Amino acid sequence: MQSKQLELFKYFTLAEERDDAHTSACAMLRDFMEQMDIDNIKLMLSEVETLGDIDPETYFQKLERAFQLLKISGNTVLESAEGRCNRCHPGVASFTFKGNNSPWHISFLFHVKDDKVVDIHECSSIWTMFPELDEGSKMYLDEPDFLLEDADGGLDDPPF
């Protein structure tokens, strides 16, 4: 593990050590996602070779863009709820993250091995604990710019 990662992890213990799920790597990543803390997400996953079947640099760019657009939409943090994968990855840690001031939401699967998150996949088929979520407000990493289109009436129409 790199020294920067050691600096980050020294304040946390393994879930088994404290019998507390909130100290696990999965819980840490969930917290970083809720805070839209791209720097610590990058640090935590710096040794991962691919994320969501693409190279980490591209994945982080897409995630950072999604966070920027969520912030532009007035969100200061993301609320999260555990979910359950309905299709491809049953049993994998699943979370939906919803803006605290807008209806936009996005879902992820965290693949954990030996108490380390080894991959993240975006998921469109998660059953969640947010029954009020509108399917039309679902975000996708490959299409985050639709938030701007909705906010200003469309990017193709000039404002004059």
State the CATH number of the domain containing residue 89.
Answer: 3.10.450
Residue labelled with tokens 């979910």: 83
Number of domains in the chain: 1
132 Cβ contact partners less than 8 Å away, ≥ 6 residues apart: none
Residue 31 lies in a domain: yes
Residue 153 lies in a domain: no
Letter for the amino acid at 160?
A: F
pLDDT digits (tens, 9 = 90+) for 43-58: 999 888 888 888 999 9
Asked whether the beta carbons of 76 and 37 are under 8 A apart, the reply is no
Residue 2 lies in a domain: no
Residue 79 lies in a domain: yes
Residue 11 lies in a domain: no
> What are 148's two structure tokens?
């701007």
Q: What's the pLDDT at 47? A: 86
Residue 37's CB is within 10 A of a number of other CB atoms, namely 15
9: helix, strand or coil: helix
pLDDT digits (tens, 9 = 90+) for 84-132: 777 777 778 888 999 999 889 999 999 888 888 899 988 877 877 777 7
Residue 146 lies in a domain: no
Residue 95 lies in a domain: yes
126: containing domain: 18-137
Residue 123 lies in a domain: yes
Indicate whether this model's pTM tops 0.85.
no
Return d(Cα 37, Cα 60) in angstroms, integer. Answer: 11
| pLDDT of 39 higher than 90 | yes
- Reported as a pLDDT band with limits 50, 70 and 90, residue 7 is low
